Amino acid sequence: MWGVQLLVVAGMGLILPFLPLLVRSYGVDDPASVQRWSGAIFSGPFLCAALMTPVWGWVGDRVGRKLMVVRSLVGLSAALFLMSFARSPGQLLLLRFLQGTVSGFIPAAIALVSATAPREQQGYALGTLSSAQAAGVVVGPLVGGVLADVIGFRALFYVTAAVEFSAALAVWRLVAAPHSRRRRRRSSSLKRNAAFARRHPLPVSLLGLFCTQFALLLVQPFFALFVESLGVPEARLSSTTGILFGSTGAAMGVAAPFWGRAGDRFGRRRALVLACGGAAVVFLLQASARSVHTLLVFRLLQGLFAAAMLPAFYAVIAQATPERRRAGMMAFGSSATLLGGVVGPLAGGALAARFGMRAAFGIGAALLALNVLNAWRLPSDGVARAPRARRSWELPSH
């Protein structure tokens, strides 16, 4: 699953960092319009996925997590292949909606891995899986930047679709995840999953996932344009943007397992408070960058802190949830993350068009600072334990 996640994220990284340049290739010349279209296109699949992910999670608890992983990858590959035929920003946006409806790989992968990891090592397992995502963030933009300059944006969709389909074949052939009929009969309904999600510390974790993703993706729609504003020539713009994206992923890949292990040993609340506070400071510093080299340093530091946040919140959800509800609760967590992915880029594109790109970095820093207070509301030891099952000889407390 580590290798599959690396392939999936690297494949998506071939395209996503360069969406503003792709929009501009459709004939959209006004910078404000490019930023707005980029925000909408980037956010489109998150909106549909946020609505569909709880449904896919419930289905995964009934039919098996492996099947949901394969389904999501095949759907993602088909949607990306169709995007190669888009001839306008509106057509690309509709196909991105389709992608969000039929995919959902990340929550399916998290549910599959968390169901097999020992309870006391949930943070380390999910942190290690997150390091594959970070490694993909390194590889994808670097390769995508070079390919975009050589073969063009449209050909990237064919390459990405092939990568995602190869990942689906790898899961089907190499991943073993038996799912008993007994467990399918005991799987929870959507209504019961929603009721369970109101138990502490799940609402705190869901809000933390939303705020984290909102802040981190706030600058995504205009980041390539921000790099261009630093004086990068157009001939090297795609590759330079890819390097800057990749530097953050490289730092996340190195730091994620260490943050996960530190959370398991010393408590996730402490780790999250430190990570969110550090990320807020670094995010603010990016707004002051006047050269690519300075921005590169800040992007590296952002990756070191950002590596802790999403895996830690997901680990809290996993430890607070019985195994039979695991996919459903992870799906709710993914929906919170996806909603942050919807609001963040849309807000970032609008804010950059209205107040300037540097102001948007400052707003992202403020959101991460607020997330410090949210992380502080987690249990003091950072580990949420599921309620102890009542023994057959015990009487109800009332």
Whether residue 10 is predicted with pLDDT greater than 80 in this model: the reply is: yes
> Where does residue 236 rank: exposed (0-12), middle (13-18), buried (19+ CB within 10 A)?
middle
Which of 122-126, 220-224, 277-281, 365-369 has the lowest average pLDDT? Answer: 122-126
What is the pLDDT, as a whole number, of residue 311?
81
**What's at 101, amino acid-wise?**
T
The pLDDT assigned to 134 comes to 66
What is the mean predicted confidence (pLDDT) over 70-84? 91
For residues 294-313, b (16+ Cβ closer than 10 Å) or e, as one string? Answer: ebbebbbbbbbbbbbbbbbb
Give the whole-angstrom CA distance, residue 360 versus residue 357. 5
Q: Which of 29-43, 99-113, 315-329 has the lowest mean pLDDT?
A: 315-329
Residue-level pLDDT at 327: 67
What residue ranges do the domains of the chain occupy? Answer: 2-172+192-376
**Residue range 2-172+192-376 in CATH 1.20.1250.20:** yes
pLDDT of residue 278: 93
- CA distance readout (Å), 29 to 21, 24, 231, 236, 319: 10, 6, 19, 20, 49
327 closest CA partner among 99, 145, 116, 151: 116
Mean pLDDT (the chain) is 80
pLDDT band for position 190 (cuts 50, 70, 90): low
pLDDT at position 387 = 44
Q: How confident is the model at residue 391 (pLDDT cuts 50, 70, 90)?
A: very low
Residues 6+ apart with CB under 8 A from 398: none
Fill in the DSSP letter of residue 175: -
pLDDT for 178 beyond 60: no
User: 89: which 2 tokens?
Assistant: 């920003």
Spatial distance between the Cα atoms of 304 and 299, rounded to a whole number of angstroms: 9
Contact, 155 vs 270, CB < 8 A? no
